[in-house]
A and B are shown apart, each in its own frame.
Chain A
Amino acid sequence: MWKTSETGGAHVEQAIKQLLPPCQIKCPINEDIQRTNVLISLLPNTMEEARGGIIQIGEHLYERNPLFNICGYVCGLCELECNYKNEGGAVRRRLLKRFLSDTYTDYLKEKPEAIIVKDRGDIAIIGGGPSGLMAAYQLSKLGYRITIFESGDRLGGALWLIPEYRLPKAVLSTTVENLIRIMGIDVRYNSKLGEGRTTVKRLINDGFKAVFIAKGTPNARQLTFGKDIVEGQELSGVMYGLDFLYEVSHGNISPDYFKNKKIIVIGAGNVAFDTARTARRLGGDIAMVCLECEDKSHRDGIPADIDEIRGAWEEGIKIHASRGVRKISGKSGKFEKVHCPRCTRVYNEKGFNPEFDTNDEIVLDGDIVIITIGQAADRELLKKEGLLDELGRLSADPHTLQSQVNPHVFIGGDVRRVGFMVEAMMEGITAAESINQYLNGENLKTVKKDYEPFGLPERPMYKQPTEVLWIPPEKRLHFQMFEKGLTLREAIDEAKRCATCGPCVSCKACISIGFEKSLYAVKVDEAKCSGCGVCVYICNYDSARLKSKDGKLTSDTDIFRCKSCGMCVPACPSSARQLVDDLTAAKISKTLTELA
């Protein structure tokens, strides 16, 4: 079994402009996706033998992303930009990571604590969700003592609202609990910002050198029609998706809570679909109402992931698309009907600005209506903490996340801008970097990194992706995972599909396991080169190119694109190309000399 070594570690340098594989650019935290794929493709054939390799791959991922076990279940943003998507389907990177997660999550329980001298002062983090945890992890590594002030009784924030059929609770709790243990992070549960000693002012007075506010968006957004709040939201039987998912995650709702009940879910984001599918699993007959149209490719299309839409459809959830809600009506204080005019347009040039045709209105009857149209920060509280600027905005520098009203305070995650889990995680990383620079008295980096994606290399054949298996809809109306994970064999085959389009410097998988000593540069002897262009033909990475110099055509190599594969060397008819420092030719000569 191979052993990965540190010298082969890949790192995304803080360059202004850099070539990367498109998946790694799409990932907000720029995870080493290609490297992971290459190493998975080289795992042994039995789980027993492969375990050591999986843990080595996991350890490298953990270094950058201690929540990768969770991402493997819920993210998959990288797949949206995979170059392979036009050749049969993106490499199923999320499932590959989930495959690692299934072994690594168990290993986490025995992973030793990190040995770090924490002598750089205390930092307070408000909120134990993905952003807060990520900042806590990064700052702990840098030697700061971290205290997380968590308003609830568990860490993970909004991740707990992801239904268990998509993310098993055990994976979530094992990951966050061990992160705290491994990094030696203090957590104060049931500590809300603005209560007791947990105010920004008191925390600073108590000796915390900086405060990172990542308290998420606990407030559900109220339903509006035009500029008005929709009437009827106070009726009994009207609830909000966020509260509903919260109660479900705490086990406060019985398994047949919605049995024989008609439920109407308003909204079309991923959270709305989580709500609808959860309610379906509690026995309800579900209809969804949303402004957006069914055509996902349209500007006004449903924003949720295609898999969510498909899943809901399979589970018998009816979607009333292109419908708004003008009014919620009821009798004796109890909800009865929603009145839904046709939505003719959701976005105009100025952005979200729905238009309706009130002559075309349907009325839907139901027992319960669940409003899931977004969430918002607790602005009153933020105002009280002195974090809003004169215009009433929660203003933080978008690059450094430093508050523009209080330099000790940094703000990130959903509270700043609602986004994907991994976007919140990235803000945690950014905040950690900024806090460290701020406390070191350095200038905060305000430069946005700029990455240029690689195209798909030339390949003689493309393979179809591994089929993703879902439990059939009639058998999956429960809270167990409905998607089957990959077997080792499937994982190896799927990882082998990766065309490794990225540059070697961001991967170095082959070096980390000793296949190569370094990434050799190609040297072209211009005196020998005839400019025939065979190397251009043979190179699969658009690295070998012809250029005109003093009226003579010669070839050269773009070192950023070159993979040091050496295929151009024997292809060159005039022996003008060679790999610098490559000992392969010498090894072959030695072996052949010893033949005699």
Chain B
Amino acid sequence: MKKLKIVCFSCKFSWGYLTDDTLLAADIKNWVPIICAGKIDPEYVVEAFTRGADGVLILGCPEGDCHYQDGNLEARKRLAILRQALLTHGIRPERVKLVLSRNPDGKDIPVYISEMAKTISSLNQEPVSTERTS
């Protein structure tokens, strides 16, 4: 089985801020820490799939903890709509995951990524493009 490509965006205010980015990056491929989940443009998610990603994981702050008041909830709203749109193109909702939680040392980030990879591979062994017809 080929290694799945999961793109991960994580909010800096809840995820991995106690560990040096470069240290964490050694364990996390395709990872972009970002100031707020609410800043993630759905277009980035679409682009990730067009470039061959198997899934996109977005890590935001727990409800009520967003430094910018409601960026995490904005992200949730946008992704809910985006999943609908992606489905019409044959991309299953499970391929876009949002976790609203907190992990300051960032050690859970690779765990979430491998969990997601497992879900996707059990979903469908085939590449993204074939889901369109399923």
**Interfacial residues, chain A to chain B (CB-CB below 8 A):** 1-2, 38, 42, 44-45, 49, 457-463, 496, 499-500, 510, 513, 515-516, 538, 540, 563, 565-567, 569-571, 584, 587-588, 591-596
Main secondary structure of the interface of A (DSSP, over half): loop
B residues in contact with A515, CB < 8 Å = 12-13, 17, 35
B residues in contact with A463, CB < 8 Å = 64
**A-binding segment of B38-46, B111-119, B125-133:** B38-46
Q: Are B64 and A2 in contact (CB under 8 A)?
A: no
Q: Are A44 and B18 in contact (CB under 8 A)?
A: yes
Q: Are A460 and B30 in contact (CB under 8 A)?
A: no
B108 on the interface (CB 8 Å rule)?
no
Q: Are B69 and A499 in contact (CB under 8 A)?
A: yes
Q: Are B18 and A584 in contact (CB under 8 A)?
A: no
Contacts A570-B42, A595-B7 given: A460-B73 contact, CB under 8 Å? Answer: yes
CA distance A193 to B98 in the complex (A): 69
Contacts A42-B104, A570-B41 given: A592-B69 contact, CB under 8 Å? Answer: no
Looking at B18, B39, B44, B104, the one whose CB has the most chain A CB atoms below 10 A away is: B39
Q: Are B64 and A460 in contact (CB under 8 A)?
A: yes
**16 pairs, A vs B, C-beta closer than 8 Å:** A2-B17, A460-B70, A500-B67, A513-B17, A538-B74, A565-B36, A565-B38, A565-B67, A565-B68, A566-B38, A566-B39, A567-B38, A567-B71, A571-B74, A591-B30, A593-B51
CA distance A460 to B9 in the complex (A): 23
Output the least CB separation between A380 and chain B (Å): 57
Q: Report, nearest first, the 9 A-B pairs whose CB atoms are least far apart.
A: A570-B41, A566-B39, A565-B68, A540-B69, A567-B38, A595-B51, A461-B64, A460-B70, A459-B69
A residues in contact with B78, CB < 8 Å = 570
Looking at A463, A499, A593, A596, the one whose CB has the most chain B CB atoms below 10 A away is: A596
Looking at A458, A500, A566, the one whose CB has the most chain B CB atoms below 10 A away is: A566
Q: Which residue of B36, B48, B73 is within 8 Å of A566 (Cβ)? A: B36
Number of A-B contacts (CB under 8 A): 99
Contacts A461-B64, A595-B7 given: A569-B41 contact, CB under 8 Å? Answer: yes
Mask: chain B, 1-19; 1 = CB below 8 Å from A; 0 = not = 0000101010011000110
B residues in contact with A565, CB < 8 Å = 35-36, 38-39, 67-68, 71
CA distance A584 to B17 in the complex (A): 17
A residues in contact with B47, CB < 8 Å = 592
Output the least CB separation between B74 and chain A (Å): 6
A residues in contact with B94, CB < 8 Å = none
Q: Are B36 and A584 in contact (CB under 8 A)?
A: no
Q: Which residue of A44, A563, A591 is within 8 Å of B7 (Cβ)? A: A591
CA distance A499 to B64 in the complex (A): 10
Q: Are B70 and A458 in contact (CB under 8 A)?
A: yes
A residues in contact with B35, CB < 8 Å = 510, 515-516, 565-566, 584
Output the least CB separation between B23 and chain A (Å): 12
CA distance A571 to B5 in the complex (A): 27
CA distance A462 to B43 in the complex (A): 31
CA distance A203 to B104 in the complex (A): 57
B residues in contact with A499, CB < 8 Å = 69
Contacts A565-B39, A595-B30 given: A459-B51 contact, CB under 8 Å? Answer: no
CA distance A570 to B104 in the complex (A): 26
CA distance A586 to B12 in the complex (A): 17
Q: Are A595 and B38 in contact (CB under 8 A)?
A: no
Q: Are B36 and A595 in contact (CB under 8 A)?
A: no
- Extra inter-chain contacts (19) besides given A515-B17, A540-B69, A565-B68, CB under 8 Å: A459-B70, A460-B64, A499-B69, A516-B35, A540-B70, A565-B36, A565-B67, A565-B71, A566-B35, A567-B74, A569-B39, A569-B41, A570-B42, A588-B9, A591-B32, A592-B7, A592-B48, A595-B48, A595-B53
CA distance A515 to B36 in the complex (A): 10
Q: Are B31 and A591 in contact (CB under 8 A)?
A: yes
Mask: chain B, 87-119; 1 = CB below 8 Å from A; 0 = not = 000000000000000001100000000000000
CA distance A516 to B64 in the complex (A): 22
Q: Which residue of B7, B18, B43, B48 is within 8 Å of A570 (Cβ)? A: B43
Which residue in chain A gives the minimum CB-CB distance to B42?
Answer: A570
